[in-house]
Amino acid sequence: GAVVSQHPSRVICKSGTSVKIECRSLDFQATTMFWYRQFPKQSLMLMATSNEGSKATYEQGVEKDKFLINHASLTLSTLTVTSAHPEDSSFYICSARKGSGYTFGSGTRLTVV
């Protein structure tokens, strides 16, 4: 079946530093990937849609300069949280559409101290 590998699963970083999260589709080509953010006890909120070879589409209220998305190949999308602050601490998860369904990465727990 469709598998999306997401790394790292957990990361702790200092305020002001940047963190990169990777999502790879292992057995299929994902022209589109979605990045979600989830706060404790809340739903998954779509941050942006990542399109291979073009600029990502960001949802309203999401700072594109802070959350940099790169989808340089059909199997890799990255989310970089720049100049991280404690309020960026959250669970970040990617998803790729394959055919008529969606496959999720395992998620990244980001803690900014």
Residues of the shown chain interacting with other proteins in the complex, contacts defined by CB under 8 A: 34, 36, 41-46, 49, 91, 93, 95, 100-102, 104-107, 109
Shortest distance, position 15 Cβ to other proteins, whole Å: 23
Compute the least distance from the CB of residue 42 to other proteins, in Å.
Answer: 7
Specify the residue, 49 or 78, whose C-beta has the smaller distance to other proteins: 49
Identity (one letter) of the amino acid at 46?
A: L
Distance of alpha carbon 113 from alpha carbon 106, whole angstroms: 23
Q: The tokens 């990777």 sit on which residue?
A: 22
Reading phi first (left if > 0) and then psi (alpha if -120 to 50, else beta), residue 61 is in: left
Using the minimum distance from each CB to other proteins, give the nearer residue, 54 or 100: 100
